[in-house]
A and B are shown apart, each in its own frame.
Chain A
Amino acid sequence: MRTSNPFIAVAAVVLCPALMFAGTISGKVTYTGTPVKQKPISMAKEPSCEKQHATPINTETVVTGANNTLENVVVYISAGGDDGSAPAQAVTFTQKGCQYIPHVIALHTGQEVHVVNGDQTSHNIHPMPKSNPEWNKSQPPGAPPIVQKFDNPEFISVKCQIHPWMHGWFAVLKTNHYSITGDGGAFTLPNLPPGKYTITAWHEDYGTQTQDVTISGNETKSVDFSFKAKAY
């Protein structure tokens, strides 16, 4: 069910009774085993960033919370749901203190991402996609946001060569049903009409897991994911 036409979209919302009985999938992402200890980042080469951090920040490849919960996992509906359309609202990706905030953003194909430089130094933003065009642009302090979009869904590694420790991810999805786990590893996918869905959880180091879930009516289904930590 594509809802690219706003009239159909409105009609669907008004007429489709299923939406009124929207279901929700929620859950938690955890890990087993012992993850690699994250290393402190030396920002010695960029004093304007170094002094923004009282203690050195750590790498963010594996970010964990209490009770073995795992952060920065993108959980989304990979099959069974509607594709949705690109929201007009842009997603903001900020460079601050020589760090990407947030570490992972998710956006719809065709949705704009605004890359903002909040630092007193130049950054270069270099996403390395496989099925979208690759680009690499520098952004001096005070320069306007870089506005870009991606037409094909994929997980794109984003780097800054000027500050090689900076690493982030663009999760370009063909759905608006997604959630990124934060502190506590929890996620929620609301407003799901009844149906059979495939839920995918993606982590930059640990890979992907999928689970099938069926929603029938106005209910909340709980789904948990558990990743096996890598020793190195």
Chain B
Amino acid sequence: MSDMSVHAAVHGAPTSFIRKYVFSLDHKIIGLQYYALALVAVVTGMVLSWIMRVHLVWPNAPIPGLGALAKVGAPGGVVTPEYYLQLMTMHGTLMVFFVLTNAPFAAFGNYFLPIQIGAEDMAFPRFNMMSFWTTFVAFCILISAFFVGDGPPLSGWTGYAPLSAVGKDAGPGQGIGQSLWGISIFVFCIASLLGSLNFIATTLDLRTKGMTLSRMPIVTWAWFITSCIALLAFAVLMPACLLLILDRVTGTSFFIPAGLNVGDHIQPHQGGSPLLWQHLFWFFGHPEVYIAILPAIGIVSHILICNMRKNMLSHRVLIYCMMAIGFLSYMVWGHHMFLSGMNPFSALVFSFPTLMITIPATIMTLIWLGSLYGSNLRINSASLFCLGFISMFVSGGVSGFFLAQPSIDIYLHATYFVVGHFHMVMGVAAIMGVFAGTYFWFPKMTGRMMNETLGRWHFFLTLIGTYAIFMPFHYLGLAGNVRRYSAFQDDFLVPLIPVHKFITYAALFTGAAQLIFIANLVYSRFKGPQASPNPWECTSLEWSTPSSPPPFDNFGGQHPVVHHDPYQYGVKSSTGDYIMQTSPGPGAAS
């Protein structure tokens, strides 16, 4: 395949500011744009979660400034029950779509996938620009829901019909805000489809000479596998959103059955099925979890190998595991719907592949741990976040044992156990991967080093904080604490409020600790020490570029030729204990 690599310059260097930084065709700028968008989204989402946490434990306390921002939702700064749910919906949607899909996949993938395979840009630079700007439009549409009619939607990031489909009759937050949500996700799907097609085409067609598929770094593989998953997943969510919008706007009945009396209004619908929405949504929704976590797995493995100064026991087995997870992720969506009235036998059918995902996940964990044995592990902010990722991946993973079993799900479904589970494994673990990637690749992206001391403080405070937030969620769940409640007033919930107070303090603390990261990011961008082209002594192609950040065409008019498997560490060479993929001459046996 390698001799088929395309080397023609895909487009000329930009000259104007607008073409260079705004409507850029350069995959690196687009990657940074995705990163910036994810950063805005994550800060917004985190602030929303703060408001939610504060409201949960001090329900009648006015939140300073909120009264002016949300006159309807929070009169006098006191959050109303519907506003809590609206914030929750926006938090989930922002985090899942605009942070967990964008940051580890679109942002880093855009920046580094072409470089790692020795390409000058993506296969379709214009598509690439369109992907980002379409995502941006989706983001703006979603945020605009804060400022319309009765505010953003409140049916959760899962948007279950018929609550999300019947419109205003179902109460506040079901007006135009819910329609905007559907449109936003629809547009987001278009962007993701374009993006993942582009990733797949780039990986298959633009590899430089010598870059066989088996010589691709593990993270390149992760983005490639994720693209394949995303292509199938978003292709199902997109029509689902379209049908939802049609139900809301044109009066069709895809998700609404006959005979509903919503808010004393008989619904003029018949023949639809709420389960249809759940099937379509979760057919996307479960693979989405892996769209968030696989790139993080790739990033973490890639960084760890470099910092361990030796290859994983087998990075290929890790890649096979990712493929297995990607494949299985399409057979398990029904485990979100055990209690939704499907045929009870189908619960067992969905339960088995779900439990089977444990096997590749365990193999991966064992390989990470076994590889740490006997390594020369370099401790820095990036590698610490990788270790944090492994810890979180395990913690969030083992709770999946419980939820994968329908009989236990009867008790734990829709409790904080689920919330703790997916926040740890999909939220925190993936974000730790993003942090690791940021500390690791920042020198390449900006030409400057990040501050190591601040980075370590950031890591340790984040590790403690996130465990303090999400571990107790599991125990709340075991006590039957149901989720998506804006206040805890039931007799069995009131005694749990002290635990919630602890969690709220931990959330405020952890959120504040992220300011260290933001400060480090901004400070280092302008004042950080100059970075050498390969500060971590890594072997993959992104560290072979002539400068940091790489020139417009990545390799300064050169076409790198790959001679080795990606991870040649622990060998004697002229440069030290590693051999670059591009350096000619013998490498270690693979």
Contact = CB atoms under 8 A, between A and B. Distances in A.
A140 B82 contact: no
Contact of B78 (A126, A128, A142, A157): A142
Nearest to B168: A134
A116 to B, nearest CB: 14
Interface in A150-204: 157, 159, 161
Contacts of B583: none
B60 A142 contact: yes
Contact of B172 (A121, A128, A138, A157): A138
Contacts of B82: 124, 138
Contact of A136 (B59, B76, B172, B487): B172
Interface string B56-72: 00011000000000001
Contacts of A142: 60, 78
A144 B80 CA distance: 12
A140 B172 contact: no
Given A136-B171, A144-B75, A157 B264 contact: yes
Interface in B72-101: 72, 75-76, 78, 80-82
Secondary structure at the A interface, as helix, strand, loop or mixed, is loop
A163 B41 CA distance: 37
B576 interface: no
Contacts of A157: 264
Contacts of A138: 80-82, 172
A121 B78 CA distance: 14
A216 interface: no
Contacts of A122: 80-81, 487
B81 A140 contact: yes
Interface residues of B, number: 18
B76 A144 contact: yes
Nearest to A137: B172
Interface string B26-68: 0000000000000000000000000000000001100000000
Contacts of B76: 143-144
Interface in B150-180: 150, 168, 171-172
A102 interface: no
B263 interface: yes
Question: Which of A121, A128, A138, A143 has the most CB atoms of chain B within a 10 A radius of its CB?
Answer: A138
Contacts of A134: 168
Contact of B60 (A126, A139, A140, A161): A140
Contact of A128 (B59, B72, B263): B263
Contacts of A80: none
B169 to A, nearest CB: 9
Nearest to A46: B489
Given A137-B172, A143-B75, A128 B264 contact: yes
A65 interface: no
A142 B263 CA distance: 25
A114 to B, nearest CB: 14
Nearest to A162: B81
A121 B489 CA distance: 10
Contacts of B75: 143-144
B171 A124 contact: yes
A143 B78 contact: yes
A134 B264 CA distance: 12
A141 interface: yes
B263 A161 contact: yes
Nearest to B76: A144
A144 B60 CA distance: 12
A139 B80 CA distance: 7
Contacts of A141: 60
A138 B154 CA distance: 14
Contacts of A121: 489
A159 B171 CA distance: 12
A179 to B, nearest CB: 28
A124 B59 CA distance: 16
A143 B71 CA distance: 12
Nearest to A47: B491
A141 B489 CA distance: 13
25 contacts: A122-B81, A124-B82, A124-B171, A126-B171, A126-B263, A128-B263, A128-B264, A134-B168, A136-B171, A136-B172, A136-B263, A138-B80, A138-B81, A138-B82, A139-B80, A140-B59, A140-B81, A141-B60, A142-B60, A142-B78, A143-B76, A143-B78, A144-B76, A159-B264, A161-B263
Interface of B: 59-60, 72, 75-76, 78, 80-82, 150, 168, 171-172, 263-265, 487, 489
- Lowest 3 A-B CB distances belong to which pairs? A138-B80, A136-B171, A138-B81
